[in-house]
Every structure is written in structure tokens, then in C-alpha cells.
A and B are shown apart, each in its own frame.
Chain A
Amino acid sequence: MNIVVCIKVVIDPLLSSTDLMIDPVRSRIVARESGQQVVNGFDEQALEAALRLKDNIPGTVITLMSVGKQVPWDVLRKLMALDVDNALVIDGSAGDSHDPRVIAAILAAAVQRLEGVDLVICGRQASDWDNAQVPIRLAGNLGWPCLTLAREVKMVGKEIQVRRVLLDGWQDMSAKPPAVITVTSELGELRYPTMKGRLAAMKRQPNVWSISDLGNEFVEATELVEIQMIHHPKESNCHFIDGESGQSKGEQLAAVLMSSGLI
């Protein structure tokens, strides 16, 4: 089986707002310090789903695919320490667009050019824009079925089957490959690489394609007018409950919440 896993490199979502700023030239949010980029968490889990399929299906080939202007290889390379066969970087400034219509069209063109892909696995959404649209639009562009929010992915006969998370439980859904799948956090964390894998990854390089080679023109559906930071933390005015021990603080807290009428 031939699996493509889509990977977006994002700014570490756990950075606090004070560590972020707006790059006025490119109208995007950047970290104040360098080296704060990570693989989007849900995309790591998409890779884990692919690796689990590969564990069970001999001959499976996994290709990582990432689009953007100068995708940082040092971030992606960490994933190459796992049982990943290829990495394909699609380079060009259109790849930095905020707009899912553009990104999905680029990915679709690349998947078509790769040929013979059975499955594209994506994270359910990226932690910077949280659109949850690229995978579904990608499936639309390819004309493939899209199975979403998977916490489990497996082949059952000739069908790919996912256990999709619902608010009040789960549902199994299946489709005939080729298909696009999105993965949610309930699937579990990405496995750790071995030391041997890590050393081997140091020597690996991606294939690089240029967006302009993919031919199409990629047109945004939404125009980005402006980005601005909105300060979340209020002036920190937390009233800390004093006490000799945790036990006495617990009692104090009960008294404070009752007397202030909050309970």
C-alpha cells in the first residue's frame, strides 16, 4: 500500500502569546525566537496511523508530503527517524497561503503527479489556523472519499475502515481506496524512534518539487486583510489561598468560595 502523510510545520502551539509577533512583511505570525517550529500535533498522529498500517501490511510505502516556502528540513527530518520511506517537499510561496483552497489544490496536484497513491492521511486540523478544511477539499479535488476524525484506521478486506470519533461515541466508516483520512488526537501519540533510526535520519534528504512545476494556478477563496495579536491574559490578579498544607488550603478555598457567593 502506498500512503502519503501530509505534514504541516507550525509554530509551537504551546508558546505563549508574548513569544509571538506579527511579521509585517509577510503578514503572518512568527515566533520571536528561532527554532520554535514543530510538526503539527495531529499530523504526527496521522503518521502514527500510517505506521500502524505499515506494521500490519508488508510492502507499505510511506511518503511524507509538506508544502510551503522553505519548509524547515530540520523539523521534518525528525520524522525520518521512523519507518518512513520518502519525504517530498513542495516548495513555493503559494504554499504559505492561509487559504485551504490553495493548499488543497497544491497537495492534490502533487498526489496526482506521484501516481499510485492509495491513501492520503492528514491530521484533522492544523494548530495555527484550525480550519479542518484542507483534507476534505483535497479529497474533493481528487474525487476521492474522505473519512474523518479517525481514532483507528485499518484495512478490512479491500476497504479502508476508520473508527470515527463522535461527540457521543464512535462510528465505524469505510470506503474503497484511494481515499483521504483525517486523524484525531484520540488515536494516540506518535511512537518514539530508535537511536539507530535517529542516526540514520541525519543523512536523509527530501525530494523537492517546485509549486510552479505543478502547473495549475492556485487562487485563494479568502483574502487575508489583516492579522493582529489579541492579548489573552488579563493583568494577573490571582488571589492565592494561603495555608500550611494542601489540606488547610482546601478548607480555606471552600470557605472563600462560599463566603464570596460563588458556590
Chain B
Amino acid sequence: MSGIMIAIYSDDYITNESLFRELVSLAKQLQAQSHERLTITVVGDESGSCTQTVAEYGEELVRIAIKVPENAPWPEYDTEALVQLCNELQPSMILLPKTFWGTEVAARLTAILDGSAAMDITAATLLSDSLEVTRTIFGGVAEARLRMARMPAVLVPHPKIWPEAEPLPTDSSITLFTPNIDLGALQTIPKDRHRLAQAPDVAQARILIAGGRGLGGPEPFKLLEEIASMIGGQVAASRPPVDSGWVSGQIQVGLTGKTVAPDLYIAVGISGAIQHITGCYNARNIVAINNDPHAPIFQYATYGVVGDWQDVLPTFYEALKTIIKSSREKVY
């Protein structure tokens, strides 16, 4: 087995471009050591536009597109297609993004190819006879070093560890891979699908104002929305508001949500459990508003307000409005 393969899903690429660019950096790091061929495979790109953009990441890449039929089960079909491609290319390393698709395809591919997988890796080193990776465990309070004993090694990097690769303009040639799959022979059957409006990617925001269970319901998120739009930020959330259906899962920050690193992260009514912190730990500044002075979130905060958000937020909002208005008046 030889070769490094990046596999991405076109929908993920659209909403999570930075993850793809981080995968390219990891792949190039591994390639510098192993000198193996690098392949990028894009799954499910109907228009082909994603594959076009992806093709711009370096001339030594081989680009392969796999189309997914409308009624194909997700991601069983995608996995089966990748298995067939892997049987042909025999890659020794497969890199996938930390998205719903990437995480699940990683597990399915590893199971079928009987390889080894490592999730949430923060470092990877090729030794003379093996690949060693470091990954976070226990929500991020600890890390484990693993030696990948079976090939292919399927790796899902932790977001925001590797830098985002820059495109290198090249003549891109794209090969279409057409797997031989009998839809009727697959085991899962897709039914109704319901799509929410696409929320802007919280991982790209410079300012985030995040609400937690302490907000008590969906209503207060409107106030967060108003504040965010005034200061050029976006709204995020901890897990309980998502589980309770107050907000969309797209804006969840944490271990099972997005990993963000804004300049400013304002956490309102969020206790600061490690599974949340692990997703926002790299924010340059965390501001915590919480009525419990012992809430762990204050350990990570640059600024803290001990108080009920119902008292703090409205005056915070009004004061910001006034300051912003007067600073505008000064300028004009």
C-alpha cells in the first residue's frame, strides 16, 4: 500500500472550507516525509465547481470526483464508492475532515478495509517503520499517542491545528471515478430529508456571542442575534440549546460541534464544561457572563461578569449602541 488520499464531501467543502485546507497541510506534511502520491477525492459534487476549486492546491495532486446519485443512502453509498477507489489505489493513509460525513465515513471505511483509525489527531509523525499520531481524549484534558498498526491508517485531524494551505495555481485535470454500485444491494434506505436554512459558519467568525442552557429558552437568542449583528459577530451555542431545539445544530461549539477560534468569544449562561471549552479554547479572548461565580468558564475568561444575563445583557446592548453611535458621529 502506498499513497495519501484526502477524501472530502462537497457539501462539507462549501460550509467548511478551512477543514479541507487543513487536510491539505497535513497531507503535504506527511508527503514531505513519505514521498507518496497525493490524491484528493471529492465525493458528491454535482456541479463540479467544488472539484475545480479543490484542484488548485498543487500540481502533484491527482484529483478524482465521485458523483453520488440523488437517491443514494448517505453515507453508505459514499463509503462503498471510496472502498472501490481504495481497492484500486491502495492508499496507505486516508485523511478525512471532522464533520458528520468525515467522522462516519472514517469509521465505515476502517471497518470495511480493516485498517486502523485515529480521530481528533493533533500531530502525526512517520517513523521508519510506522506512523505515530497524537490525539486528544477525555474531551481534551488528556492526549494519547498511538501507533497505527494496520493499513490503511484513517486519520481525522482536530480542527485548527494544521494551517490552512494556500492554493497553487495549476492546470487541473480531474478524473471522474464511477463506482460499480447496485443501489438495491445497499443496506440503508434514504427517506424524507428536511434542510434548514444554511447558517453562516461559526468557525469563520471573528466575534461570537454564544448562549447556553442558562438562557432558559429560544427567545433570548434573539437578543444575542441583535447584539451580534450590531458588532459584526455571529451567534453560537453550547449543546443544551441544540438538544432542546432552541437553535440549529450548525452553531453548536464543542467536542461534538464546531471548533472555533474567534478574536472574541462571549459566553452567556454557559458553565464551561470541558466538552464545550475544547471547541472554543483557542479564542483569543473569552468573556463570560454567568450568575455563578464558581462556574468553570471564568477560569478560561479574560473578562468576567458575575450576574444574571437578564440584567447584564440589555444594558450591555444599550451601552454598545450608544458608544458605537457616538463614535460614528465623531467620524462623520
Contacts and interface: CB of A to CB of B under 8 A. Distances in A.
A136 B191 contact: no
Contacts of B114: 101, 221
A18 B92 CA distance: 39
Interface stretch (B22-30, B136-144, B164-172): B136-144
Given A13-B275, A127-B275, A167-B100, A258 B303 contact: no
B101 to A, nearest CB: 9
B264 interface: yes
Contact of A255 (B195, B199, B207, B319): B319
Contacts of A256: 303
B277 interface: yes
A140 B110 CA distance: 10
A163 B118 CA distance: 27
Interface string A222-262: 11111111101110111111010111111101111110001
A17 interface: yes
A217 interface: no
B188 A241 contact: no
Interface string B280-294: 010001011100000
A150 B73 CA distance: 15
Given A140-B111, A170-B194, A258-B323, A230 B143 contact: yes
A112 interface: no
Interface stretch (A70-78, A87-95, A171-179, A191-199): A171-179
B189 A225 contact: no
B138 A128 contact: yes
A241 B304 contact: yes
B188 A250 contact: no
Contact of A186 (B73, B242, B311): B242
A20 interface: yes
Interface stretch (A49-57, A141-149, A205-213): A141-149
Interface residues of A, number: 87
A225 B139 CA distance: 19
B51 interface: no
Nearest to B275: A13
Contacts of A16: 141, 274, 296
Given A173-B189, A239-B302, A253 B146 contact: no
A233 B149 contact: no
A222 B118 CA distance: 8
A33 interface: no
Given A131-B119, A247-B311, A254 B323 contact: yes
28 contacts: A16-B274, A16-B296, A17-B274, A20-B141, A20-B142, A100-B117, A130-B255, A133-B117, A140-B112, A145-B188, A222-B149, A224-B146, A229-B142, A238-B288, A238-B301, A238-B303, A245-B307, A246-B312, A246-B315, A249-B312, A250-B307, A250-B311, A251-B318, A254-B315, A255-B319, A256-B303, A257-B264, A263-B231
